[in-house]
Amino acid sequence: MKGKVILIGAGPGDFGLMTIKGFEKLKNADVVVYDRLVGEDILRFIPENAEKIDVGKKASEHKIPQYEINRILTEKALSGKNVVRLKGGDCFLFGRGGEEVEFLKNNDIDFEVVPGITSALAVPAYAGIPITHRDFASSVYIITGHKKDNEPLDINFENCVKCGGTLVFLMGVSNIKYITEGLISNGMKKDMPCGVIERGTLPNQRKIISTVSDIAEICENEKIESPAVIIIGKVCELGYDFDWFEKLPLKGKNIVVTRPKDRAEGISEKLKKLGAYVMEYPCIETISLIDDKLFYEILKKIELYDWIVFTSPSGVKFVFDSFFNKKIDGRIFYGKKIAVIGNATGDELKKYGMFYDAMPEIYDGKNLGILLGKITKGKKVLLLRAKDGSSELTYELEKTEVQFDDTAVYYTNYINNQDNMVKEKILKGDIDYITFTSSSTVKAFAISVNKGYDKFTGVCIGEKTNSEAIKHGINTIVSKRAVIDDMVSLIVSEVKKCR
Ligand code: SAH
């Protein structure tokens, strides 16, 4: 059976600006053919086993020619695949979506189109520029500033000036001098407000507002590059007062997150929503130790113990996933009391339909040990945690009469991350904060990056992580409680202090 091609507009870059329908369709893709302007965060949602084909194009150098893209779409659909063609912004606005659909139609291949939010509308909005306003402009014209195969531009400048509406140019940065001179020589006032927004809607968005007579020179001096939108019209003046994006508390801040890949998302998303530019640089990974032998050992042990103790979300996940995989009913935990080290571990437990009975006020091994010492007297306690876990917990328990067993259910592997882009940015002083959510992330980071510690601030989740970071000579700040939300608000208040 023949497959189908679904053209999806992915929006201008900000992850939240792709439609729900677009995401739904993307989830079922067998093959995803995507462009350069599709946001990195959206690409993370391509199903793991889908084939990914990058046909990204740059202004004058087409990485893969259009006829080749058409051929790929057709060939994949003919082989029965559900093909998603993911395009920046909207599919049909200057993205050659029309040509792709024409080719599919001629080859008798079914297609669907999911429109996207175009950069022509979203980028001005993120710059605080309403493209129409009753006092300034009652029409908008969206114009391409780039021609097919570098043919000469044939913009009707006279009409552009006469229409009196807002002009939005896409693909126009390399021709900005030609465009602005053309408008002025056709009667546009030299002081007409004009805005250029580079990488709009993204955390590293840059915005310039000036006049049509000097914007080209400023863009050249500031080295503004594609992708950028040029907006010309009186509404651009509002971009000073109506800016909201630049005012986000972490706008302009570059933050590195060192958490394992599968746990980075929570903190990264929170920081991004506040305007930060986040780079994930996983320094550790957690690996389950639960093989068949250990699984049956744990199973047997669980029957013997009154209290089960988890000291990390990973521990909870590995234990419950192994039970689920072996089809062991959750009622095996019936009647057991469960203690967790902190909120995140408690939240992970809830995902498996269970609630904890005890959690210390301060989320660390020492305080968990002190609490257990008080509440589990005469009871049998099973610790299910990382290999070489904190000795503070067992030290506290050993001081009491609690009977406990310590079972390692996973271990932490240090990754020697080789992402040179992040390393170079650290050395150049371009990174403001690096988050450390455990002492192992600090140790692993120190193996992978051994220079430039005076150029950023380490944001540590608790005292133990903090002292590990200080040991390595990192300047640190430390969150009051060992929770992600406190780390995020700590960064926000720190940035506020420095602004
Ligand atoms: N179909 C797309 C436009 C494709 S043409 C849409 O609807 O947005 C590519 C041009 O879009 C770029 O040269 C630039 O002018 C504009 N563009 C796309 N994403 C952008 C972004 N995040 N910031 C600024 N301009 C962007």
**Chain segment 440-492, per-residue pLDDT in tens:** 999 999 999 988 999 999 999 988 899 999 999 999 999 988 889 999 999 99
Range in 60-64, 217-221, 311-315, 383-387 with the lowest mean pLDDT:
60-64
Residues 6+ positions from 65 with CB-CB distance below 8 Å: none
Q: Tell whether 290 and 408 lie within a shared domain.
A: yes
Ligand 1 lined by 104 (C-beta under 6 Å)? no
More confident residue, 366 or 60: 366
Q: Which of the listed residues 54, 84, 117 is the one where a domain comes to its end? A: 117
Half-sphere exposure at residue 274, Cβ-oriented, CA atoms within 13 angstroms? 20
- Tell whether 195 is covered by a domain: yes
Q: Tell whether 400 and 419 lie within a shared domain.
A: no
**What is the rounded end-to-end Cα distance, in angstroms, of the chain?**
61
Q: Tell whether 338 and 314 lie within a shared domain.
A: yes
Entry field: residues in the chain = 499
Nearest partner of 229 among 193, 195, 182, judged by Cα: 195
Number of structural domains found in the chain: 4
pTM (two decimals): 0.81
Residue 382 banded pLDDT, cuts 50, 70, 90: very high
What integer is the mean pLDDT of 336-347?
95
Residue 15 banded pLDDT, cuts 50, 70, 90: confident
**Sheet architecture: strand order including 337-340:** 284-288, 403-414, 380-386, 307-310, 337-340
Ligand 1 lined by 88 (C-beta under 6 Å)? yes
Residue 57 annotated to the active site: yes
Rounded alpha-carbon distances, angstroms, from residue 407 to 110, 210, 286: 56, 65, 16
Catalytic residue among 14, 25, 57, 90: 57
Q: Which atom of ligand 1 is nearest to the CA of 97?
A: 1
Residue 301: its H or E element: helix 292-304
Looking up residue 263, the CATH number of its domain turns out to be 3.40.50.10090
- Tell whether 247 is covered by a domain: no
DSSP, collapsed to helix, strand or coil, labels residue 165 as coil
Q: Tell whether 149 and 68 lie within a shared domain.
A: no
Decide if pLDDT at 59 tops 60.
no
Q: Tell whether 272 and 342 lie within a shared domain.
A: no
- Tell whether 301 is covered by a domain: yes
- Tell whether 389 is covered by a domain: yes
Q: Which atom of ligand 1 is nearest to the CA of 200?
A: 23
φ, ψ at 270 (rounded to 5°): -60, -45
pLDDT at 57: 54
Q: Which of the listed residues 384, 414, 444 is the one where a domain comes to its end? A: 414
Ligand 1 lined by 384 (C-beta under 6 Å)? no
Decide if pLDDT at 418 tops 90.
no
Decide if pLDDT at 149 tops 80.
no
- Spatial separation of the C-alpha atoms in residues 64 and 456, rounded to whole Å: 40
Residue 432 annotated to the active site: no
Ligand 1 centroid – CA 224 distance (Å): 14
* Residue 391 structure tokens: 């000795």
* Residue 79 structure tokens: 């082989």
Peptide bond into 227 cis (omega under 30): yes
Q: Which of 15, 36, 41, 119 to mutate to test the pocket of ligand 1 (most atoms within 8 A of CB)?
A: 119
Catalytic residue among 14, 35, 364, 432: 35
* Residue 201 structure tokens: 């809607």
Q: Tell whether 47 and 85 lie within a shared domain.
A: yes
Q: Which atom of ligand 1 is nearest to the CA of 197?
A: 24
Ligand 1 lined by 13 (C-beta under 6 Å)? yes
pLDDT at 150: 65
Range in 351-365, 407-421, 425-439 with the lowest mean pLDDT:
407-421
The C-alpha torsion from 19 through 20 and 22 to 28, rounded to 10°, is 160
Domain of 157, in residue numbers: 121-239
Q: Which of the listed residues 398, 414, 430 is the one where a domain comes to its end? A: 414
Q: Tell whether 274 and 420 lie within a shared domain.
A: yes
